[in-house]
Structure 1
Amino acid sequence: MRGGTVAVVGGSIAGCAFASAAVRAGAERVVVLERTRGRLADRGLGLCVHDERAAELAAAGALPGGIPAHRLLRRRWVVRDAGAGPGGRLVWEQPFPFHSYHWGLLWRGLREATPREVVYRQGVTVAGVAGDADAAEVRLGDGSVERYDLAVGADGYRSVVREAVAPGARPRYAGYVCWRGNFDAAALAGDGSHPDAVTTVCYPGGSCVVYRIPGPGGPRVNWVLYASPPRDGQLRFDDPTSFPPGALTPRLLEHLRALLEREFPPYWGRALALTDPADTFVQPIYDLETASTTAGRLLLAGDAATVVRPHNTSGAAKALQDATAFGAAWAGADTWEELLRAYGAARGPAGRELVALARRLGRAQVERTPDWARMSRGEAEGWWRAQLAGAPGIGGQPLPR
């Protein structure tokens, strides 16, 4: 099938990947509608992609070459132990074949690789969409309506398109929060510094992953800390929200610093405390699975289709795999209906499996943490296998051959 018009609602990682896939598949016109003005590349979060997923995505044309990445080889699980030194005691070490990325640099690489034929419109708010068997209608914030053959919802966890595909489906609060930050890697040296490793600091009621990422001005250290929420009512849990970088209140910052001092090995507590408040934020953790990823001429992608807790380290890979599956479905279809059916059959179950795995990881690593300090290496390995429950590992599933 060739020709047709496609609107992609959302211009971040999933949006750029879908726009590129649509052009490669033979779409006549592709328009990206991104509400944010300016550079999305200013976002400073880190993320990881499994080496095997990266190779598959590169071969499929979904992951451009030349994007800065930092190689990781192993994951070290450590606990606070007064007799083990400031870096804590190593409980277990496992292979971790991933590369880490800076969100903004990854987005920039995908944006630069987007074909010139794509019309990328910023500062455009999509107020709603509708789709039937014949077309998709996109209603903009100014009241105008645009008509396309297909509309892709790549508009994240607050997706407007999702409301049309799966009315009433909303992310559910998982019961805990995630603190995030990043700082100059030059500050991370000495006891406990392992450039090729992800360090997971374990404590009763939570855990924290720490790893290096490339940054626009040089290497950074990215950290993600899972914990029970503060009890002072500063966070809302009825709607997906967060305190973005630079917006933390003094009370929230004090809560975080007290947690680091109380639960972390001294080396890691001091290191994370170096994070500038402008580079620190907190967000409640949510997840979501939808019964369907398509309806009429509408299609969901990335976080619009499924919101997966970050423990699975699969968010970016999943978005790029969605785009790859979209391109494959297009190549094998003679009609829009066949395309949508094939995409839904491929990505609906995959998304739901990721949500289920991340829930198991969240229960084991935050909600019902074990007594890590008393674990032997064999017990730690068994605990990890129980979380996987037959899944080959974290980072997402292989693409179908």
Structure 2
Amino acid sequence: MRGGTVAVVGGSIAGCAFASAAARAGADEVVVIERTGGRLADRGVGLCIHNDRAAELSAVGTLPPGIAAHRLTRRRWVVRDGGDPAGRLFWEQPFPFHSYHWGLLWQGLREATPASVVYRQGTAVTGVSWQVPDPAAAPAAGPDGQVAVTLADESVERHDLVVGADGYRSVVREALSPGSRPHYAGYVCWRGNFDARRLDGVGEDPWPSDAGMTVCWPGGSCVIYRIPGPEGTRVNWVLYAVPPQDGSLRFDDPTSFPPGALTAELADHLAGLLAREFPPYWAAVLALTAPEDTFVQPIYDLEVTRSGVGRLLLAGDAATVVRPHNTSGAAKAMQDATAFEAAWRDAASWEHLTDAYQAARGPVGRDLVALARRLGRAQVEQTPDWTAMDRHAAEAWWRGQLDGAPGIGGQAMTARP
């Protein structure tokens, strides 16, 4: 199938990957509609991609070459111990990942987007209209079944296919699966990052550069690792715990507290956790983060019945919101784009395309959500007695979380015949 117009709502990692895939597959016109007007490259959070997923994505051209990455090979698990400022190491597991700076990864994907793609920033989509057709009737969405996209200025555009790459508060998802909303998991993550050169002021560094660290305590855990940055290596951390329960904060509606918007309650709660639960060295490391570089992200789950119907398709977090414990978000978004391009090349119609995409990515999304829920229960909601852990106990505990899954970081793409 060739030709047609495609609108990609959302211009971040998933949006850029899908725009490139549509252009390569043969769309006549591809437009990306991104509501943010500022520099997306300034988003400094870290993420990791499994080495095998990166190799697969590079081989098909979805992950462009030359994007800065930091090599990780192992993950160390520690618990507070009064005898060692850095805590007691109870397990070291293989961790074949590379870490990335979100902004640098996005910039690489954006630069690799074909010049034919129109990338519009500062334009918000407020509604998408497409009626799932009755087999006995003609589609009622517009000429030839096109999708109507309404913008903030009330103008309307029509496209042959609309891809929702607009995140966990997706407008496109509301059109495809009305009422599907992320469900709050009952806990949040505090996130932050800072220039790794600041570590020199903490004391002797017990932290190999190829290691990610996990600090554990009753009711929570914190992952700490290095990432590349625009001006050198940075330290990135993600701390999972239940937020203050005084009723002053509500997370039933999808929300977040971006850098610069951290409330006093959340800041004080974080400071208390560091003082009570962390080994002194790691508490001092996290305390190096400036308040303006600290934010809170409530943890949500979401899976939809279908991620592709007729002329609508969902990508990345718009289709499934997977708790970050699984370390699969960026890889999953780019795999979605890879599957989309493969489905396009074999499709005879738009409906065949979205059906094939759903068949390829729907089960994967459900599996990832289920695994991340198990990881969240084990590492936050129902934590073990970390102080009693040794290597053998930790390995058995980890196998229980996986429950037959090969590991974290996402699934391998199914080989095509």
User: Is the pair's TM-score, using the shorter chain for normalization, greater than 0.5?
Assistant: yes
235-244 vs 88-97, greater mean Cα deviation: 235-244
* 2:234 counterpart residue number: 220
* 2:180 counterpart residue number: 169
1:14-61 superposed Cα distances (whole Å, 9 cap, x missing partner): 000000000000000000000010211111100000000000000111
* 1:290 counterpart residue number: 304
Count of residues in Structure 1 that have an aligned counterpart in Structure 2? 400
Q: How big is the shift at 1:377?
A: 1.1
Contact 1:206 1:227 (C-alpha < 8 Å) held by counterparts: yes
Contact 1:102 1:215 (C-alpha < 8 Å) held by counterparts: yes
| Structure 1 letter corresponding to 2:14 | A
The aligned runs of 1:174-323 (5 Å cut-off) are: 174-188=185-199, 190-323=204-337
1:19 and 2:19 matched: yes
1:191-235 superposed Cα distances (whole Å, 9 cap, x missing partner): 422210110001000000000000111110000000011123342
1:155-209 superposed Cα distances (whole Å, 9 cap, x missing partner): 0000000001111000000011100000111123524222101100010000000
Distance 2:205 2:347 in 1: 56
Q: How big is the shift at 1:252?
A: 2.2
| Structure 2 letter corresponding to 1:38 | G
47-56 vs 126-135, greater mean Cα deviation: 126-135
* 2:96 counterpart residue number: 97
Distance 1:184 1:354 in 2: 32
Distance 1:251 1:396 in 2: 35
Distance 1:175 1:30 in 2: 39
Distance 1:235 1:24 in 2: 45
The aligned runs of 1:117-156 (5 Å cut-off) are: 117-132=116-131, 133=139, 134-156=145-167
Q: How big is the shift at 1:337?
A: 1.3
1:248-271 superposed Cα distances (whole Å, 9 cap, x missing partner): 133322221111011001000011
TM-score normalised by structure 1 residue count: 0.98
The aligned runs of 1:103-114 (5 Å cut-off) are: 103-114=102-113
Distance 1:127 1:306 in 2: 21
- Kindly report structure 1 stretches of 4+ aligned residues shifted beyond 3 Å: none
SS of residue matched to 2:330: helix
* 1:65 counterpart residue number: 65
Contact 1:154 1:304 (C-alpha < 8 Å) held by counterparts: yes
Q: How big is the shift at 1:295?
A: 2.2
* Identity level (%): 75
Contact 1:131 1:295 (C-alpha < 8 Å) held by counterparts: no
Distance 1:187 1:201 in 2: 20
Contact 1:87 1:191 (C-alpha < 8 Å) held by counterparts: no
Contact 2:244 2:269 (C-alpha < 8 Å) held by counterparts: yes
Q: How big is the shift at 1:77?
A: 0.5
| Structure 2 letter corresponding to 1:123 | G
Gaps (5+ residues) in structure 2? 132-138, 140-144
Contact 2:243 2:269 (C-alpha < 8 Å) held by counterparts: no
Distance 2:165 2:206 in 1: 39
| Structure 2 letter corresponding to 1:152 | V
Distance 1:244 1:100 in 2: 21
The aligned runs of 1:2-41 (5 Å cut-off) are: 2-41=2-41
1:105-133 superposed Cα distances (whole Å, 9 cap, x missing partner): 00000000000000001111101101245
333-342 vs 106-115, greater mean Cα deviation: 333-342
Q: How big is the shift at 1:354?
A: 0.3
* 2:370 counterpart residue number: 356
1:264-287 superposed Cα distances (whole Å, 9 cap, x missing partner): 010000110110000001121111
1:314-353 superposed Cα distances (whole Å, 9 cap, x missing partner): 0000000000000000011111111111000001110010
| Structure 2 letter corresponding to 1:5 | T
Distance 1:19 1:256 in 2: 39
TM-score normalised by structure 2 residue count: 0.94
* 2:134 counterpart residue number: none
Distance 1:248 1:313 in 2: 24
* 1:336 counterpart residue number: 350
SS of residue matched to 1:7: strand
127-136 vs 37-46, greater mean Cα deviation: 127-136
Distance 1:141 1:218 in 2: 39
